[in-house]
Amino acid sequence: MNIINIDNNKSININDNVCIKDRNNKYKIDLLKQDKLILIINNIDSEMVINVYDNFNLLLYGNIDNKLNIKINIYNGSKLKLNKITKNNNSQENIEINLDSNNSTIKFNCTYIGSLKSNVLVNHKFDNTTSNIVNHAATNNSDIIININETVENGIKNCKLKQYTKILKIDNSKVLIRPILNTRDYRVEAFHSSIVTNINKDDILYLMSRGLNESESIKLIMDGFIFSNIEDAEDEISKIKEFLDI
């Protein structure tokens, strides 16, 4: 897979399938032909706009200490498979996804580590569009708010919406999940589920009985949970762990 460190690519960067431009402090990334791509988005301050014109497998990761703003437009009935893993430090993420043509599809495995506030916005603007969002967030004593807002615009039919959010925490972190589905049309299939769980004490005990101390046990369980949300990019996990220092 191609790996591009966005921060080092202030200038125009093109290959046949991908075109990245930095204009007025705004990244414009066009995914033109079916391919896979890894973008390292370490503390990029400027907004990113990603236009998807063909089926694509995209992996984004990096540390976010302040803000992350991403807007994704999916055209041509394309299917975007998106994995995003960010390590957050009291940061704010805004991710907007527009399904901009008939049959446009997104499968979004979205993973957060640390404290953050996140807004995920999905707009179904055409018929037969599909969104499937899986959020995993893990916190070890820090706060998390996740808002997911999905809208089917007026008169748009036969859309499929699915969202699943799970937060794993230990005792006293504050977490909040706000899932919202807006639709005025009955020809829609919608599903959502939100789960917040504490790490199971018996699981920790089991690992401790095999020699791991408490923090090692918690880390192993949290990492396992976090990285189980990566799909079709499993080979990259060790690199991501190293980069994010997990």
Partner 1 sequence: MLEINNLNVSIDKKIILDNFNLKIGEGEIHVIMGPNGVGKSTLARVIMGDDTYKINKGEINYFNENLLKMKVYERSRKGIFVTYQHPKEIEGVANMDFLKTSVTSITNEKLNLFKFANEVNALKDELKIKNNMLYRSINVGFSGGEKKKNEILQMNLLKPKLIILDELDSGLDVDSLKIVCNSINKYLENNKNTSVIIITHYQKMLEEIKPDYVHVLMNGKIVETGDINLANKIFEKGFDSISTNEMKEQK
Between the alpha carbon of residue 110 and those of residues 51, 68, 97, 183, 200, the distances in Å are 18, 13, 13, 23, 23
* Complex with partner 1: residue 7 or 216, whichever CB lies closer: 216
Nearer Cβ to partner 1, position 151 or 217?
217
* Positions in the binding site for partner 1 (CB under 8 A): 200, 202-203, 205-214, 216, 220-221, 223-228
CB atoms within 10 A of CB 140: 17
Contact 39/57 with Cβ under 8 angstroms?
Answer: no
Nearer to partner 1, 155 or 210 (CB): 210
Distance in Å, CB of 179 to partner 1, minimum:
22
Q: Which is closer to partner 1, CB of 2 or CB of 238?
A: 238
| Rounded least distance, CB 84 to partner 1, Å | 18
- The least distance separating partner 1 from the CB of residue 189, rounded to whole angstroms, comes to 27
The strand pair at 35-40 and 56-64 is best described as: parallel
Residue among 124 and 169 whose Cβ is closer to partner 1: 169
The C-alpha atoms of residue 110 and residue 97 are separated, in whole angstroms, by 13
Query: Smallest gap, in angstroms, from Cβ of residue 134 to partner 1?
Result: 13
Tell me how far, at minimum, the Cβ of 10 lies from partner 1, in Å.
37
Question: Number of C-alpha atoms within 13 angstroms, CB side, residue 13?
Answer: 18
Phi-psi region of 45 (alpha: psi -120 to 50; beta: other; left: phi over 0): alpha
